[in-house]
Amino acid sequence: MDILSVDQDVLYWLNNTFLGKSTFIDSIFVFLGVYFIYALPVIMIYLWFKYPARRVPLTLAFFACIFSWFVITKSIVPNFIWFRERPDLGLIGLKEVFFHRPDYSFPSDHATALFALTFGFYAYGWKKVGNWFLVYTILILVARVTIGIHFPLDIVGGMISALLGVGAVYLAKDWLAKNLIKPIEKILKKIKLA
> What pLDDT score does 30 carry?
87
SS3 call for 21:
coil
Report which of 140, 160, 162 is spatially closest to residue 150, judged by C-alpha positions: 140
pLDDT interval class at 86 (50, 70, 90): low
Please state, in angstroms and rounded to a whole number, the distance separating the CA atoms of residues 28 and 100: 17
- Angstrom CA distances, 73 to 97, 158, 168, stand at 26, 7, 14
pLDDT digits 0-9 by tens, 44-55: 999 989 998 888
Range of weakest confidence among 46-55, 134-143, 182-191: 182-191
Single-letter residue type at 36:
F
SS3 call for 104:
strand
> What pLDDT score does 21 carry?
82
**123 or 2: which carries more pLDDT confidence?**
123
pLDDT exceeds 60 at position 125: yes
DSSP assignment of 168-187 equals HHHHTHHHHIIIIIHHHHHH
Domain residue ranges in the chain:
3-190
In terms of CATH architecture, what is 3-190? Answer: Up-down Bundle (1.20)
Please state, in angstroms and rounded to a whole number, the distance separating the CA atoms of residues 61 and 122: 9
